[in-house]
Amino acid sequence: MLIAQISDLHVAEDDNFMRRFVDANEKLGTAVAFINSMTRRPDVVIATGDLTDHGRPEQYELLKEILSQLEVRLLLIPGNHDEREPFREMAHSMGASYLPAEGPLHYVVDDLPVRLIGLDSTRDGHHDGEFDTPRLAWLDHVLGQEPERPTLLFLHHPPFETGIWWMDSIGLSGAKEFRDVVTRHPQVRRIISGHLHRPIETNWSSTVVSCCPSTTHQTQCNLDPDHQPVMAAETPALQLHWWNGEAFVSHTTPFEPSAGEINMAALMSDWPSARDRIRQGAPFEKGGALG
Ligand SMILES: [Fe+2]
């Protein structure tokens, strides 16, 4: 099973300030084309919040236009830059029947080898997130229903301190209680999040939590507790989470064309034979199959 994660898309109108810095809409279109071009298609694409820059209905229309090009099943959750009701309306108009008609945008996807649970960590009117008592109770209940099935949780706000102080100041309240719930359910094999606009991961409870880079601008990596907030036009990326039957193996990859490529197979006179020898366990000796 293969999951592609995209995060912090920040789609906006043409006159948006951030789009003059990095064009979020164009970058997302490139990410969608990259996923469509994958010869091993993901089983599902998960978009972990901040799908638009301000949560306005017109921004969701632009988002829908771009995401409608995606040829892979799509799951959505909101982030702090989204607004829950316009988000819900847009998602339902795209056929997202998995989303509830009211309340927090939590849901369970049960038809894949790994059980997927989407969590709404947003807090109305605030950039920080929260996991309050009703949300904790809902998660504890649904995890208790399938204790033997490997499970992946996804939410926008990571439940740990990253060391980037100003992003940590808009972190997740209720993170300790959230951790207590997850600790009771060891079938949770990984938690994926966004919000940080950087690839970050840590051990957490008995699992691993990661943040996905943004498809547009990135947060400058600076762990100095006195540094000033800086967003950087660094290479945007997405993540691929491959479930090998026992564990998730996660990759971070740019989706824009690279500066150059060397196709190693094209350097060989007889690639099909070399490929077969490699697959049969031929040693990678100097002067051997890959010479
Ligand atoms: Fe964001």
Q: Is 199 helix (H, G, I), strand (E, B) or coil?
A: coil
Band (pLDDT 50/70/90 cuts) for residue 283 is confident
Q: Are residues 109 and 55 in the same domain?
A: yes
pLDDT at 180: 98
CA-nearest of 68, 73, 74, 103 to 88 is 103
| Ligand 1 centroid from CA 59, angstroms | 15
CB–CB of 9/52 below 8 Å?
yes
Residues 284 and 223 in one domain: no
In this structure, are 31 and 15 located in the same domain? yes
Same domain, yes or no: 170 and 190:
yes
Neighbours of ion ligand 1 (CB under 5 A): 8, 50
Domain of 278 in residue numbering reads as: 264-291
Residues 80, 96: one domain? yes
Quick count: other Cβ atoms within 10 Å of Cβ 273? 11
Q: How confident is the model at residue 286 (pLDDT cuts 50, 70, 90)?
A: confident
pLDDT tens track for 50-97:
999 999 999 999 999 999 999 999 999 999 999 999 999 999 999 999
If you average pLDDT over every residue of the chain, what do you get?
Answer: 96
Kindly state whether residues 170 and 268 are assigned to the same domain: no
The amino acid present at 127, given as its one-letter code, is: H
The reply to whether 167 and 254 lie within a common domain is yes
Position 268 scores a pLDDT of 87
Maximum pairwise Cα distance, the chain: 64
What is residue 75's predicted lDDT score, i.e. its pLDDT? 98
Whether residue 284 is predicted with pLDDT greater than 80 in this model: the reply is no
223 and 289 fall within a common domain: no
DSSP string, 155-190: -SS-SS--S-HHHHTT-EETHHHHHHHHHT-TTEEE
Q: How far is the CA of 69 from the centre of ligand 1 (A)?
A: 22
Clarify whether residues 14 and 95 are in a common domain: yes
For 106-123, write each residue's pLDDT tens digit.
999 999 999 999 999 999
- Say how many C-beta atoms besides its own lie within 10 A of residue 41's C-beta: 15
Q: Ligand 1 centre and the CA of 194: distance in Å?
A: 7
What CATH number has the domain bearing residue 38? 3.60.21.10
CA–centroid distance, 195 to ligand 1, in Å, is 5
Residue 16 backbone zone (phi > 0: left; psi -120 to 50: alpha; other: beta): beta
pLDDT at residue 178 greater than cutoff 60: yes
Q: Are residues 163 and 289 in the same domain?
A: no
Residue 263 has pLDDT above 60, yes or no: yes
Number of domains in the chain: 2
- The arithmetic mean of pLDDT across residues 241-253, rounded, is 98
How many Å lie between the centroid of ligand 1 and the Cα of residue 122? 12
Q: How far is the CA of 81 from the centre of ligand 1 (A)?
A: 7
Q: What is the pLDDT of residues 12-61, one digit of tens each?
A: 999 999 999 999 999 999 999 999 999 999 999 999 999 999 999 999 99
181 plus 277 within the same structural domain: no
SS3 at position 152:
strand
For residue range 203-241, list pLDDT tens digits in order: 999 999 999 999 999 999 999 999 999 999 999 999 999
Claim to verify: residue 154 and residue 111 sit in the same structural domain: yes
> pLDDT at position 287, please?
67
Q: How far is the CA of 8 from the centre of ligand 1 (A)?
A: 4
